[in-house]
Amino acid sequence: MGRITDALKKIKDERLERVQKKPGIEYVVRKVENTKIDEHVVSFHDASSPVGEQYKIIRTNLQALAHTKNYKVFCLTSSISGEGKSITAINLAISMAHDLDGKSILLVDADIRKGKLSHYLGINQSPGLSDILKGTAEPDSTFVSPDISNLTVIPAGKTPRNPSELLGSKNMQALVASFKARFDYVIIDTPPIMPLTDACILGPIVDGVILVIQAGRAQRNIVQHAESRLNQAHAKVLGYVMTNVEYHLPHYLYRYVHKYDSYYSHEYEAVKG
pLDDT, tens digit (0-9, with 9 covering 90-100), for 237-263: 999 998 876 655 554 444 444 433 333
DSSP-based three-state secondary structure for 115? coil
pLDDT, tens digit (0-9, with 9 covering 90-100), for 148-158: 999 999 999 99
CA–CA gap between residue 134 and residue 113 (Å, rounded)? 14
On average, the pLDDT of the chain sits at 83
Return the percent helix, strand and coil in the chain, to nearest 5: 40, 15, 45
pLDDT, tens digit (0-9, with 9 covering 90-100), for 53-77: 889 999 999 999 888 999 999 999 9
Instruction: Give whole-number Cα distances, 78 to 15, 214, 241, in Å.
Output: 25, 9, 9
How far out from the chain centre does Cα 167 lie? 19
- pLDDT of 19 over the 80 cut: no
The pLDDT confidence band at residue 35, using thresholds 50, 70 and 90, is confident
Domains of the chain, start order: 40-265 (3.40.50.300)
Closest residue by Cα to residue 238 from 52, 108, 73? 73
Tell me the average pLDDT across 1-10. 62
Instruction: Sort 39 into a burial class: Cβ within 10 Å, 0-12 / 13-18 / 19+.
Output: middle
